[in-house]
Structure 1
Amino acid sequence: MSADELTPMRQQYLELKARYPDKILLFRMGDFFEAFDADAELIARELEITLTSRPMPRGQRIPMAGVPCRAVDTYIARLVERGYHVAVADQVEPPGKKLVRREVTRVVTPGTLIDPAMLDQRQNNYLLALVPLKNPHDESWARCGLAYADISTGEFAATEIGADHTEAALGVLEELARLKPREVLLPKSWADRGVTLPNGAFATPLPDHRFELGAAQSVLRAHFQVRALEGFGLANKPLATCAAGALLNYLYETQGSNLAQLTTLRTYSTANFMVLDANTRRNLELTETIRGGKVQGSLLSVLDRTVTPMGSRLLRQWIGQPLLDITRLNARLDAVAALQADGVRRAEVFAALKPIADLERLTNRVLSGTALPRDLIALRYSLESVPALRNVLYELPALHSIRDRLDPCRPVIELIAAAIADNPPAALRDKVGIIREGYSA
């Protein structure tokens, strides 16, 4: 069928699909997001929804399947859970007499989730990138750059494995077992050779040029607005730089310009932590049981008495990456001993933490421009609880270093209290009742 015979809407759809050929394209039409052609057949099968068809010129029909706009995130979550990548084409102007302009407003992949409904509160959702360097004498990995990020919390880190003469492939497997990423980016040339990933991780092969050093340095410098990357610990770590740059580029591709939550890049050495391979982690049942892979019954379930999701995620990280630094270990033990010895203060700390929501993910939704009105209210109430927590920690000298880093952010509290109604609607589309009556910017 020639382009002249296509309807304007069909042309618009095909133009967007050509930009995202390897993604499921959900195309907004009124109160539904529709998929067409092979995408329609796929989502009808995976989501167990009705497959219909849409008439075209010359008596032809094309497959079509759709989901309601109000429930689209639920359906996207089910597709992403199966490893699919979903591009969402929304209407970017009010409906009128002419064809409504549509653009892809977000791309959702297993490693780029930010919607709270799609995330486990007590676990990180990591996107990871690998850049292996082949040993010139055989097919083994001489070294490997590794970077990972959780865009829901703003964590971004990179390392280079094998530079200290450890077995690079083994070191990578150990990090994969620790981090349990949901999505792994790697050069297509290496993906074609076959790379074993842990259960639950989906491979996303990318063209090899996406991992080049020059491109990586450029995107990192531009994002952090710096002239050099030495301040991030990337000097003499070209593979770590390549991995971090490729990961950041991928995030820009899928998230657009909403990456303000990635404010820094941390480099680390695996030599500073106890090495635990996948079998050791499994046999010790650190974070999940051997039978069933459940948290309940693991060491984590025994130790986790945290009050906030942030604390639970941090405890999981500490269990998965035991320290070797005696100074930092003793500081942790001193803090634990202080709380264990003072039951009254311990109860006060628990009480002060209870009103605090998931500040990591709340602030990152604000920075990424995806926060809803009630997120701002939760942020305000959480920050209002910080002074009480600081006061309790004042009585515990072993925790003064933590207290000194707690900032209640009074200007933020005052701005939200002045501008946002105490009980705003859940969605932005319900514009009435969001801004406090009488407020003017």
Structure 2
Amino acid sequence: MQRQKSILSFLRPPTGDRSSGSENPSAKRLPAQRHEQSANGSGQSTAASAMDSSLEVRGTDTPPEKVPRPIFQQKSANGGSSLFSSIMHKFVKVDDKANGRNQAQAGALNVSSLSSAVGVSAVSQFPEKDNFLESCMTVNQGGFADSKLLDVIGPETPGTRPLVPRFKRIQEEIPKLIAEDDHPLPHPSKRMKVLNDDPVVNKKDAQVCDSISKFDWLNLSRIRDANRRRPEDPLYDKSTLYIPPEALNKMSASQKQYWSVKCKYMDVVLFFKVGKFYELYELDAEIGHKELGWKITLSGVGKCRQVGISESGIDDAVQKLVSRGYKVGRMEQSETSGQAKARGGSSVISRKLVSVVTPSTLVDNNIGPDAIHLLVIKEGEPGPDTSSVGYGFAFVDCAALRVWIGSITDDSSCAALGALLMQVAPKEVIYENRGLSKAAQKAVRKYSVTGTMAVQLTPVLPATAFPDASDVTDSIKSKGYFKRSSILWNLALDGVAHHDLALSAMGGLIDHLSRLMLDDILRNGDVSPYQVYKGCLRMDGQTLVNLEIFSNNADGGASGTLYKYLDNCLTCSGKRLLRNWICHPLKDVEGINNRLNVVDDLAAQPEFMLLIAQSLRKLPDLDRLLGRVKSNVQLSVSLLLPSIGNKVLKQLVKVFGSLVKGLEIALDLLTLLMKDRNLSISLSKIFKLPILEGSNGIHKFLTQFDAAIDSDFPNYQ
């Protein structure tokens, strides 16, 4: 059966039986093999053979050839222009590389329907002349193009466009018949859609699009802090942002809610609650896209760049971001939509910042056994001999709700400062911007390493973050901080050499915790003095590093260290106590012997040791459970929020129930230890034993708590 002709064959010159006065083009329609044989036998040029062979279109069976439509004459008899002479250049697609090369060499212009980059050969070639149609074709008397010359097709339509792999046929708008520059390139507004887009190109284009903010005052070339300082200013505060008043006035109510908070927390990834979703905008959206793989869209508050997640996944998202070193805040809805409508038809739902979580202020149960500390350091002026300098410091364990304050005197070697950093092992160090000497900064970077993770160093502006000692005292009294501390907060300063420096560091800690919405820790926390060397053998920071006490010198891990070898503790609180003992080795003979006596008494009773071990394995982390309960003694703001209040209340009830159950296990263990008289005497020399029985005994209070929980919250677990 005779093969049907291609649908594109109507682009060829008409055959002899259809047009009079034209030559038979059958030689041009021979297969490529016959052209090659003809070229070898007759000596025709390679260019002619290639031109002929390009006219053969191979493909699947197609309907019969369509009758070609006549082409208008390019010029009238009087030499006038054709109707389409001003727009014919729009229907020609040019190979960019060939165009540029031919323009430079003043040669021929190679025009192809598609670039050879996609594997499609050129359809036709035209010599470069002043008038495109005049130079490419002649029109015979019958109204058809002369078959001796190459065809020039009319305006492209979906039916006349060639079927090319990886490209779609797109219906473009009909060009306006207006005078334009005679340029062979397609109009930039017209695009060719690719079915299988190049992922590399698309990714690059998406990154460029995603990196552009709709707000000019967020661009790096114009961004400023709250005091209108540029980033190159030494006093630039990267935690704040300046928003022009005129831009703020043009914002909607929800936009103002977000940016009024975000401009004060530029160092915090801020989630904004919208209905059942939490959203990140602009710069925070870039972080969500980078760290969590969320897709950036143009919507949300003010139709800006945003990513988001449903409220069921917010806890997991916050945990991932914090584990990667980010500070994460949450703006919650403080009323329901019904309450907002009751205030007025145009009222927007009120929202407020309720929490900010950082790597150094974690309080949940998934933070591991090691203590997490936030340390604030204040360096004083050098002494008269310029060889010694004082440092005030304060640090907090938010999970245990404990705060320590103290001071040290050091020299240029920063040995005492190194010892402090190695003992505390902070997750974050806050210090005064340009307030630390170069030697102190070097020591902070050298010794502030916990395992294989670097510590976050946070310089802050001195004018706001480190107030004077008198201002700190007034603030503590006026706001009622440390009222529930086991000792009065001012007694913790007894014996502190650099009183003002310690109070200034405490002021820096208070300011930072207040900014993170952690005032409950300040109101209900325990404050205690901290002494780096007093009462123990001195081991400075360099000694702890050289002896590989907590981290080895190979990879910074705990493998092969003294702490790793001695750590056989069964409880989290025991591991933290062991580290504290290693950092402060006793030098008092009596204290050393008292500890050894307890060890001897326990080692002499292996069966008794097994019972103790079984009880210790059941114990939860009592220090942190007690801290979480104490932090919510007063009504927390989060309990009043309609969206998360019930969830927070259930968590608190569960924590309190776990604490009571854990204390009951500890009480049974203490009762077991007290039955051995010799052991109880040895233990009483190390720590003060509580009263277990009687009207003021622990057992009575635990029984009451247990009964109340079983009665009011029987299914709290």
Tell me if TM exceeds 0.5: yes
Deviation track 1:159-195 (CA, whole Å, cap 9, x = no partner) reads 2111xx6657321122112221001111112269655
Is the counterpart of residue 188 in structure 1 residue 433 in structure 2? yes
Distance in structure 2 (CA, Å) of the matches to 1:334 and 1:220: 43
- Contact 1:128/1:146 (8 A) holds in 2: yes
- Comparing 271-280 with 349-358, greater Cα deviation is found at 271-280
**Secondary structure in 2 aligned to 1:63?**
strand
Match of 1:103 in 2: 352
Supply the AA of the counterpart residue of 1:224: F
- Contact 1:149/1:157 (8 A) holds in 2: yes
**Secondary structure in 2 aligned to 1:223?**
coil
Match of 1:238 in 2: 500
**Secondary structure in 1 aligned to 2:263?**
helix
Match of 1:321 in 2: 584
**Secondary structure in 1 aligned to 2:430?**
strand
Supply the AA of the counterpart residue of 1:29: V
Q: 1:126 deviation in Å? A: 0.3
Is the counterpart of residue 156 in structure 1 residue 448 in structure 2? no
- Contact 1:130/1:144 (8 A) holds in 2: yes
Supply the AA of the counterpart residue of 2:363: I
- Contact 1:233/1:267 (8 A) holds in 2: no
Distance in structure 2 (CA, Å) of the matches to 1:274 and 1:326: 12
- Contact 2:406/2:496 (8 A) holds in 1: no
Structure 1 portions without partners, runs of 5+: 426-441
**Secondary structure in 2 aligned to 1:317?**
helix
Is the counterpart of residue 217 in structure 1 residue 473 in structure 2? yes
Match of 2:539 in 1: 276
Structure 2 portions without partners, runs of 5+: 1-245, 342-346, 633-647, 693-697
Deviation track 1:234-273 (CA, whole Å, cap 9, x = no partner) reads 5652222222232133223313431244123223242433
Supply the AA of the counterpart residue of 2:576: R
Q: 1:129 deviation in Å? A: 0.7
Match of 2:394 in 1: 147
- Structure with the larger RCO, 1 or 2 (CA within 8 Å, 6+ apart): 1
Inter-CA distance 137–266: structure 2 relative to 1 (3 Å threshold): closer
Which is helix-richer, 1 or 2?
A: 1
Match of 1:116 in 2: 365
Distance in structure 1 (CA, Å) of the matches to 2:361 and 2:691: 28
**Count of residues in Structure 1 that have an aligned counterpart in Structure 2:** 418
Inter-CA distance 56–389: structure 2 relative to 1 (3 Å threshold): closer
- Contact 1:130/1:185 (8 A) holds in 2: yes
Is the counterpart of residue 6 in structure 1 residue 296 in structure 2? no
Match of 1:388 in 2: 668
Equivalent of 2:457 in 203, 208, 227: 203
Match of 1:417 in 2: 707
Measured on the aligned residues, the alpha-carbon RMSD in Å equals 2.9
Q: 1:276 deviation in Å? A: 2.9
- Contact 2:387/2:412 (8 A) holds in 1: no
Q: 1:311 deviation in Å? A: 0.9
Deviation track 1:111-145 (CA, whole Å, cap 9, x = no partner) reads 2111223x12x100000010111326798761111
Supply the AA of the counterpart residue of 2:682: A
Distance in structure 2 (CA, Å) of the matches to 1:345 and 1:155: 33
Distance in structure 2 (CA, Å) of the matches to 1:333 and 1:424: 42
- Comparing 256-265 with 172-181, greater Cα deviation is found at 256-265
Equivalent of 1:262 in 522, 525, 548: 525
Distance in structure 1 (CA, Å) of the matches to 2:576 and 2:488: 33
Match of 1:252 in 2: 514
Q: TM-score, normalised by structure 1?
A: 0.84
- Comparing 295-304 with 306-315, greater Cα deviation is found at 295-304
Supply the AA of the counterpart residue of 1:378: S
Distance in structure 2 (CA, Å) of the matches to 1:392 and 1:378: 21
Distance in structure 1 (CA, Å) of the matches to 2:248 and 2:406: 50
Inter-CA distance 241–4: structure 2 relative to 1 (3 Å threshold): closer
**Secondary structure in 2 aligned to 1:275?**
coil
Match of 1:379 in 2: 659
Inter-CA distance 304–258: structure 2 relative to 1 (3 Å threshold): same
Q: 1:158 deviation in Å? A: 2.1
Higher Cα Rg: structure 1 or 2?
A: 2
Deviation track 1:309-347 (CA, whole Å, cap 9, x = no partner) reads 111111122123322333332222222222122223222
Q: TM-score, normalised by structure 2?
A: 0.54
Supply the AA of the counterpart residue of 1:85: K
**Secondary structure in 1 aligned to 2:608?**
helix
